[in-house]
C-alpha cells in the first residue's frame, strides 16, 4: 500500500475538504487478530477479499477507556497483511448516521480515508448517495475507487456490478461483486448480475440491503452463481447466518469499523472459501497519514464551532444548571469525595486527545450540554466542565434558591447513558465496583 505517497497528493485532499472549511465449502472461524505477512510463502495459495462497512461515523474509538476496537488509522495493519495483487478491499457503505453538519464533515473524512487505504470498491447506500449529491462529491468518487450501487443516481451511470481478476500460482479467479435492492426489485433479477463463463473459476458476492430466510433460500435455489451474501448489519460484531459450511455463505460485516471481515479463497482445482472476522485492536500500529487525517477532522470541527452549535432544549420550570461548586456549602463531604474521582477530571481526558471541541465527545464529560444553561464551551461555562453533581442529581438552581426545600428533579443522567460498550468497554459486568468509586 502506498499510503504515504497518496498522502502527498494534496490537491485531491483539498478538493474534498475545501467544502468543509463455484462448488465451495465454507468454514467459519471466530474473531482473530491480523496475521503477519508470510515470508517466503507469497499467499500460500490464498486470495483475500476484505469487507468493511456501516462505519456510521465512527472514525476511531473515543479513547475514554482501554480495550476498545476500531479506528481507521489502525485498519491498514489488517489490510496490509495481504499484498495488493492478492486482495480485494470492499466497503459496503453507510458512512454516517445522519445529515447533521458533523456527519457531513465525517462523510468527507471517511471518503478520503478509504482512498488512502487503497479500497478497490465501495457499494453506496441510499443515504450515501443522498449526502454525496448534497455535497457535490459523487462525480469525484470514481477517481478514488470503483463504485457500485443498486440505486439510481441522477445524471450518473453507476453500475450494480464490479468484476476483478485475481491471479495466484498460475490460476485466475474472477471475483464479481454485485449490489441489489432487495426492498424494491424482484429477486429474479439477481441472476442477470452474474455471468460466469464456462471453465472459469469464479466467486460471486451479492450485497443486499435486506435479508430474510425466505429470500436467502430463493437465491440459494435460483442463483447458483452466488457464493456469498452480505446482509445488512444487525449487530456491532460480524455475524454468520445459517450453516457456514454451506453455499452461499451469508454474513454481515458488523458496525462502527471494529472488525475487518476476510473472505479467504484457497485456489486449487476447486475453490474453497473460508471466513473470519478480524478485530481492529488498539495495539495495532497507527498509520501516520490516517492519524493526520483525523487531526484534520478535529481542526474542522473546531473551526466550524460545532460545540456551540449543538442543539439544546429548555429545562422545565425555568430550572438552570449551577455547577458542582454551588453544592459545596451544604454538601462539603460529598463535594470533597467527588473531587477525588475521575468524574472530576473528565474534561482533561478530552484535552489529552484533542477532542475538547467535538460535541459527540464533550457531552459525556460535562454538565447539561443537552440543555439551555448547560455547558457551552470552556470559555463561557467553565463551571460546568467535568462530570458533576447535576449530571446524576438534576439541575440545582431551585434546590439552592429554596435552601434545599425543593427536591431535585429530572433531567437526570444514568450511568449507562455514557458508559456504553463503545465508550466504556470494561463497564458491563463491573457496575458495582464502578459505583463504589463514586459512592457518597
Report pLDDT digits (tens) over 11-46: 345 444 545 543 334 433 345 555 554 444 445 689
The domain of 150 spans: 3-292
pLDDT single digits (tens) 222-233: 999 999 999 999
Q: Do 274 and 312 belong together in one domain?
A: no
Q: What pLDDT band is residue 7 in, cutting at 50, 70 and 90?
A: low
Tell me: do 212 and 344 sit in the same domain.
no
State the Cα–Cα distance between residues 414 and 421, nearest whole angstrom.
14
Residues 260-295 pLDDT 10s = 999 999 998 889 999 999 999 999 999 999 999 999
298 within a domain of the structure (yes/no): no
- List, for residues 190-230, the tens digit of each pLDDT value: 999 999 888 899 999 999 999 999 999 999 999 999 999 99
**Bridge partners for 123 per DSSP:** 148
**pLDDT of the residue at 45:** 80
Query: What integer pLDDT is reported at residue 32 of this predicted model?
Result: 57
Q: 84 and 233: one domain?
A: yes
Q: Is residue 299 part of a domain?
A: no
Distance, in Å, from the CA atom of 94 to the CA atom of 181, rounded to the nearest integer, reads: 14
Domain match, 327 and 199 both = no
| Separation between Cα atoms, residue 210 and residue 244, nearest integer Å | 19
Select from 229, 263, 292 the last residue of a domain. Answer: 292
Residues 253 and 353 in one domain: no
pLDDT reported for residue 6 = 65
Amino acid 269: pLDDT: 85
Cell of 61: 474509538
**Measured between alpha carbons, how far is 198 from 190 in angstroms, rounded to an integer?**
19
176 and 316 together in one domain: no
Within a domain: residue 43? yes
Q: Does residue 377 surpass a pLDDT of 90?
A: yes
Mean pLDDT across 104-109 = 98
Give mean pLDDT, residues 307-327. 98
* Residue 11 is assigned to a structural domain of this protein: yes
Mean predicted lDDT score pLDDT of the chain? 91
Residues 153 and 36 in one domain: yes
Whether residue 84 is found in the same domain as residue 217: yes
Residue ending a domain, among 267, 292, 317, is 292
**Structure-block grid coordinates of residue 391:** 449530571
Beta bridge partners of 177: 162, 205
Query: Is 282 among the domain residues?
Result: yes
Among the candidates 241, 262, 292, a domain finishes at 292
Residue-wise pLDDT tens digits, 175-187: 999 999 999 999 9
What's the whole-model pTM score?
Answer: 0.90
> What pLDDT, on a 0 to 100 scale, did the predictor assign at position 242?
86
120 with 180, same domain: the answer is: yes
Query: pLDDT confidence of 2, banded at 50, 70, 90?
Result: low
The predicted pLDDT at position 4 comes to 56
pLDDT value for 40? 40
In the structure grid, which three cell numbers stand for residue 175, read together?
Answer: 471475483
**Residues across the chain:** 440
Looking at residue 10, which CATH number applies to its domain? Answer: 3.60.21.10
Structural domain contains residue 300: no
Q: Is residue 378 part of a domain?
A: yes
Number of domain units in the chain: 2
Same domain membership, residue 364 and residue 250:
no
- Residue 390: which CATH number? 1.10.1130.10
Mean pLDDT of all residues in 321-336: 98
Rounded to 10 degrees, the C-alpha dihedral 273/277/281/283 comes to -20
CA distance 395 to 216: 52
464551551: which residue's cell? Answer: 377
Give the pLDDT of residue 14.
Answer: 42
Does some domain include residue 297? no
| 58-67 tens-digit pLDDT | 999 987 777 8
The answer on 247 and 388 residing in a single domain is no
Looking at residue 419, what is its pLDDT? 93
Identify whether residues 148 and 283 lie together within a single domain.
Answer: yes
Q: What is the pLDDT of residue 25?
A: 40
Query: Which residues are within 8 A (CB) of 109 and not within 5 positions of it... i.e. 6 or more apart?
Result: 59, 293, 294, 296, 297
Amino acid at each position: 500500500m502506498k499510503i504515504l505517497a497518496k498522502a502527498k497528493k494534496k490537491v485531491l485532499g483539498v478538493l474534498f475538504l475545501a467544502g468543509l472549511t463455484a462448488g465451495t465449502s465454507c468454514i467459519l472461524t471466530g474473531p482473530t487478530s491480523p496475521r503477519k505477512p508470510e515470508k517466503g510463502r507469497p499467499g500460500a495459495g490464498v486470495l483475500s477479499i476484505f469487507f468493511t462497512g456501516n462505519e456510521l461515523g465512527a472514525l476511531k474509538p473515543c479513547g475514554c477507556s482501554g480495550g476498545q476496537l476500531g479506528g481507521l488509522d489502525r485498519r491498514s495493519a489488517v489490510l496490509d497483511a495481504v499484498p495488493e495483487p492478492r486482495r480485494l478491499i470492499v466497503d459496503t457503505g453507510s458512512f454516517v448516521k445522519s445529515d447533521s453538519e458533523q456527519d457531513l464533515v465525517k462523510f468527507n473524512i471517511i471518503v478520503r480515508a478509504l482512498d488512502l487505504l487503497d479500497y478497490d470498491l465501495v457499494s453506496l447506500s441510499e443515504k450515501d448517495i443522498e449526502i454525496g449529491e448534497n455535497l457535490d462529491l459523487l462525480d469525484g468518487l470514481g477517481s478514488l475507487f470503483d463504485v457500485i450501487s443498486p440505486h439510481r443516481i441522477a445524471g450518473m451511470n453507476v453500475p450494480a456490478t464490479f468484476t476483478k481478476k485475481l491471479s495466484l500460482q498460475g490460476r485466475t479467479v474472477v471475483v464479481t461483486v454485485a449490489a441489489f435492492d432487495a426492498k424494491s426489485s424482484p429477486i429474479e433479477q439477481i441472476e442477470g448480475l452474474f455471468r460466469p463463463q464456462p471453465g472459469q473459476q469464479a466467486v460471486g458476492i451479492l450485497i443486499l440491503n435486506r435479508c430474510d430466510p425466505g429470500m436467502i433460500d430463493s437465491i440459494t435455489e435460483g442463483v447458483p452463481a452466488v457464493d456469498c451474501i452480505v446482509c445488512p448489519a444487525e449487530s456491532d460484531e460480524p455475524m454468520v447466518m445459517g450453516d457456514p459450511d454451506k453455499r452461499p455463505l451469508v454474513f454481515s460485516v458488523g458496525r462502527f469499523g471494529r472488525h475487518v471481515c476476510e473472505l479467504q479463497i484457497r485456489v486449487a482445482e476447486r475453490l474453497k472459501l473460508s471466513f473470519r472476522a478480524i478485530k481492529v485492536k488498539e495495539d495495532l500500529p497507527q498509520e501516520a497519514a490516517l492519524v493526520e487525517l483525523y487531526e484534520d477532522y478535529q481542526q474542522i470541527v473546531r473551526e466550524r464551532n460545532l460545540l456551540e452549535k449543538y442543539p439544546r432544549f429548555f429545562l422545565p420550570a425555568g430550572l438552570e444548571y449551577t455547577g458542582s461548586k454551588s453544592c459545596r456549602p451544604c454538601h462539603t463531604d460529598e463535594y470533597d469525595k467527588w473531587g477525588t474521582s475521575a468524574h472530576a477530571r473528565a474534561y482533561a481526558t478530552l484535552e489529552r486527545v484533542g477532542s475538547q471541541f467535538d460535541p459527540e465527545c464533550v457531552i459525556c464529560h460535562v454538565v447539561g450540554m443537552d440543555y439551555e444553561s448547560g455547558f457551552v464551551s470552556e470559555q463561557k461555562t467553565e463551571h460546568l466542565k467535568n462530570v458533576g453533581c447535576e449530571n446524576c442529581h438534576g439541575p440545582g438552581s431551585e434546590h439552592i434558591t429554596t435552601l434545599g426545600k425543593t427536591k431535585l428533579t429530572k433531567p437526570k443522567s444514568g450511568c449507562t447513558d455514557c458508559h456504553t460498550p463503545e465508550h466504556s468497554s470494561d463497564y458491563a459486568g463491573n457496575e458495582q465496583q464502578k459505583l463504589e468509586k463514586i459512592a457518597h
